[in-house]
A and B are shown apart, each in its own frame.
Chain A
Amino acid sequence: MISQLKKYVSIGLVILTPILVTFGSSDFPPNFEAIEKKALQILKDKKVDDDKLLLLYLMAGRELHDYDFLDKSEEYYQKAIDLAVDGAKAEAHINLVGIALNKNDKKTAIQRLENAEKYFAQHPKEKNPGIEEWLKTMDRVLRRAGQGAYTYKGFFGQYVALNDLQSYIEKKEYDKALAMLNPTSITEKTSPIVLISYDILQVLVYGKVEKKKLKCSPIAQKAKKGEKGYTVQICGILQSYLSSNKLSPIQLEKLEKYLSVVHEDKKYLLSAIKDLK
C-alpha cells in the first residue's frame, strides 16, 4: 500500500507545495490561505473525481507532515478519509494517530486508532507485518499501558517502555515502575526523565535511602541558581526529605510552577512525590 502511494507522490504538489518549495520549513506565509483557497476552488470547478482527490489529499497530508505542519497535515488526511472512496487510506489513518500522539492528545489518538483498526479489518490486504506491529504497539501505548507482560524490543520498544513507566507511576504502582529500571546502567548521561523517575521511585519504595545513592546528586551539585530544571529541583526535594522526613512546601510550590510553565506533561512526577509520607 505504501509503495503504491509512493507511486503517486508527485501529485501532492498540487495544493500546498508551491508554498513549501519557496519557504522551506519556515512558518506559513501570510498568503497561504489565499493559495489554498484558490487551489481548492480549481479542484471544485474542474470537478475532479474522488479517486484523484484522494491521492491529492493524501500527498498534501504527507508533505505537510514531513515539514511538521501537523495541523494542516491533519486537515488533509481527514479530508482523504472523509471521501467516499473505498480503500487506499491506510496512510491517512496511521499518520492521524501519530499526529494526535505527537500533540499529546491521547483521547483523539484512541478514537483514531479505533478507526484505523476498523479500516484494516475491512481492508486486510492493505496490512503488512510493519502495520501489524504498529497496531499492536499503539494498542499497548494508548489502551493497555502497564497492563500485563510486554517485551520491550525493537524499534518501538523504548517508546512503549517509557510509556509504561509513566503509566505505572500515574497508577501509583511504584514497585512495578521501579522493577523496570536497571540502576547499574543509570548514569548522568541517562535520559533525565528516567534518571529522576528512578530516584523518586527508590525513595517511594525503599523509604530511607542514603543521599549519596540518589543518582541525581552529582547533577544537582553542578547546577547554579536560576539554572535548575526538574531533575535538580526534584533532587533537592528528595535530599531535604531524606534529611528531615518532611516535604518542603516551598520546594513543592516552586516545582509545580516550573512544571506548569515548562513541562506540563511531567506533573505526574509531582503527584508521586507528594505520596512520600
Chain B
Amino acid sequence: MKSHYYMTVVIVLFILSLGVVFIQGCDQASYGVGAALENIVNEPSTWIGSASNALSGKTWSDYKERTEEARARLSNDTHYQLCVRTGTTINEPIDGLAGNMTKVRDLYCSCKAWGTCTTENCSCDILCPENFEILNRGGQEMGPTDNEDFELRNSDASVGKYVPLASGGGLCWGLATMNSRFNHLAFFNPKTPKPTFEYPEDRAKFYKFLIEKVRRNQAVDIAGFASLKEFSSDSQIKELLAEAVGHEWSRLAIGVEGISSISSSSPLDAASAASLVADLKYRTENHQTPSLLFNNAGDSLSAHVVLVTEVKEVPDGTKSILCIKDNAQTAISNNHCGNKMIVDKATGEIIYLGKKVGFCKIAHNENNDVVAQVNSLRGRCLIEKGPACTRTLPRSNFDVPSGTF
C-alpha cells in the first residue's frame, strides 16, 4: 500500500513539475497543474497516507536516487573519469619520466563533476550533474578545519550549561546553518583584490547582499578573502553576519519545529539511532554537513544544533563516531574530529561532551538547504562550462555580484 502512495506522489509531482516547466513558455501549464490538483482534491486520503513524502524530503530523496543512478551508470564506463583532449597528438620525443607525466596530464582531462574536460569530450550532465556530486565543488570542498569555521561563536558553552550573556549570540541553529551554507556556497578568492568603497554604508550594502545570497542558498564569489575565518573576522562583516545568523535562528527556532526540539528529551532506541547514523553517514559521504538538532536526556530545554562532518566506526565495530562541528566550542577543537558524539550500537545510547543525548534528529531545514544548494552550484557549474551547457540552465538567481557596486 505504501508503495502505491509513493508512486502516486511521484506521478503527481512529475505532473506538477511539468506544469511549471510548460508555463514558462506559455500558459498551457495551468492544465497540467490543474489536472494534478484535481487528483489531489479528489483523493485526499492518498496524500494523507503518503505522509513520509513531504515535499522537501521527497526532493532530497529524488537527488539521492539520481546520485545513485549516475554512479551506477558511470561506473560501467571505464573512460568517464579520464578523456583524451580533442585534437591532441603525441609527436614529440618524451624526455624522462617527469616530462612524460606532464605530457600525459596535458593530453587528458577529467570527465566528472566540475571536471577539466570541455563539452567537446564530456557531457554537461557529467560535468555539472544534477545530483549530490555537484556539492564536491571540484575538490574545493570546505572541510572541518578552523579556517572554514565562523569567527563568531555561540555563547552556550556546552549543551544545557547556561553561561551568562557574555561571549556571543547563543543562536546555535542560525550559526550552524549559516556556517554550513558558507562552506558549500562561498568561493573565496584571496588573489582577487577586495572591492573598495569610500563610504562604510556602501561596503555594508555590498557584503549584506553577498551574505543574503548565501542565506538564501545561492553560490557567491568572495574576493580578497582566503577563508570563512578571515571573512568573518572582519569587524564590519561580522556585524552583518551576526544579523543574518539572528534572522535564521528566529525563523528556524521560534516556530513549531523549534518547539518540537524542546517537547521531548527521550533518548533514541537502538533501531532509531542506527537509522539516524546510517542517514548521517550517507549524507557526509555525499558532500553534506547535516545539521543535527538534539537535547540532553531528561532536559528538553537544553536543545542545541551542531553540524556532522564525518561518520566513523570504532575498530571493534561496537560504536559509531559522529564528528561534530560545534559553534559553542572553539573552532580549533572542531578540527579533525576533535568534538565527537559516540553512538553505542547495541543500546542506541549517544554520548556528547560527557552527557547522554535525548531527542536527536536531522534539522528540518537540512533537506531544503541541500536541494537549493545543488541547484545553485549546478547553475554556477553550467555557466563555467560555457554556452553548450547553459542551454540547460534552469531559471534561477545565479548572477554573481562583481567587484563593483
A residues contacting B by CB (< 8 A) are: 2, 5-15, 17-27, 29, 31, 34-35, 38-39, 42-43, 46, 48, 52, 55, 62-63, 65-68, 70, 90-91, 94-95, 97-98, 101-102, 128-131, 133-134, 138, 151-159, 161-162, 165, 180-187, 189-194, 219, 222-223, 226-233, 257-258, 261-263
Question: Which of B132-140, B164-172, B385-393 forms part of the interface with chain A?
Answer: B164-172
- Our pick among A98, A130, A183, A190 for the contact of B251 (Cβ within 8 Å) is A98
CB distance A226 to B259 under 8 Å? no
What residues on B are CB-neighbors of A128 within 8 Å? 259, 263
List, sorted by A's number, 5 A–B pairs whose CB atoms are closer than 8 Å: A9-B53, A26-B375, A46-B38, A97-B254, A227-B235
Q: In the complex, what distance in Å separates the CA atom of A231 from the CA atom of B243?
A: 13
| A11-B235 contact, Cβ under 8 Å, with A22-B20, A39-B33 | no
A21–B47 CB distance below 8 A = no
Q: In this complex, what residue of A is CB-closest to B265?
A: A129
Out of A63, A70, A182, A186, name the residue touching B56 (CB < 8 Å): A63
Residues of A within 8 A of B254 (CB): 97-98, 101-102, 134, 138, 159
Q: Are the CB atoms of B250 and A102 closer together than 8 Å?
A: yes
Nearest chain B residue, comparing its CB with the CB of A161: B165
Interface residues of A: mostly helix, strand, loop or mixed?
Answer: helix
* B187 touches A (CB below 8 Å): no
Task: Report chain B residues within 8 Å CB of A138.
Answer: 254
Q: Which residues of B contact A262 (CB under 8 A)?
A: 201, 204-205, 208, 240
B301 touches A155 (CB 8 A): yes
B window 112-157: CB within 8 A of A: 151-153, 155-156
Choose among A7, A101, A226 the residue that contacts B196 (Cβ–Cβ < 8 A): A226
By a CB distance below 8 angstroms, the chain B residues around A26 are: 216, 218, 372, 375, 395-397
Chain A contacts of B67 at CB under 8 A?
none
Given that A2-B256, A29-B20 are known contacts, is A229 also in contact with B250, CB under 8 Å in the complex? Answer: no
Residue of A with least CB distance to B395: A29
A-B contacts, CB under 8 A, total: 314
Q: Are B201 and A257 in contact (CB under 8 A)?
A: yes
Indicate which residue in B36, B156, B259 contacts A131 across the interface (CB closer than 8 Å).
B259
Given the interface pairs A14-B40, A25-B217, the reply to whether A38 lies near B33 with Cβ below 8 Å is yes
Min Cβ gap B143→A in Å is 21
Most buried by B among A90, A155, A233: A155
CB-defined contacts of B250 to chain A, threshold 8 Å: 98, 101-102, 159
Beta-carbon contact of B165 and A181 below 8 Å? yes
Partner of B151, one of A21, A48, A129, A189: A189
For residue B237, give the distance in angstroms from its CB to the closest CB of chain A. 8
A residues less than 8 Å from B365 (CB atoms) = 66
Q: A42-B37, A129-B263 are in contact. Are A263 and B243 (CB under 8 A)?
A: yes
Q: Within B24-40, which residues are at the interface with A (CB < 8 Å)?
A: 24, 27, 29-30, 33-34, 36-38, 40
B residues less than 8 Å from A39 (CB atoms): 33, 37
Q: Which A residues touch B208, using CB under 8 A?
A: 262
The stretch of B9-17, B271-279, B337-345 that contacts the partner chain:
B9-17
Is residue B221 within 8 Å, beta carbon to beta carbon, of the partner chain?
no
Cα of A90 to Cα of B261 in the assembled complex, Å: 16
Contact B235–A231 (Cβ < 8 Å): yes
Q: How far is the CB of A71 from chain B (nearest CB, A)?
A: 13
Q: Quick one: given A31-B24, A35-B20, A133-B262, are A17 and B55 in contact (CB under 8 Å)?
A: yes
Contact between chains at B255 and A95 (CB < 8 Å): yes
> With a CB–CB cut-off of 8 A, which chain A residues contact B165?
152, 158, 161-162, 165, 180-182, 194
B251 touches A24 (CB 8 A): no
How distant is the Cα of A31 from the Cα of B396 in the complex, in angstroms? 13
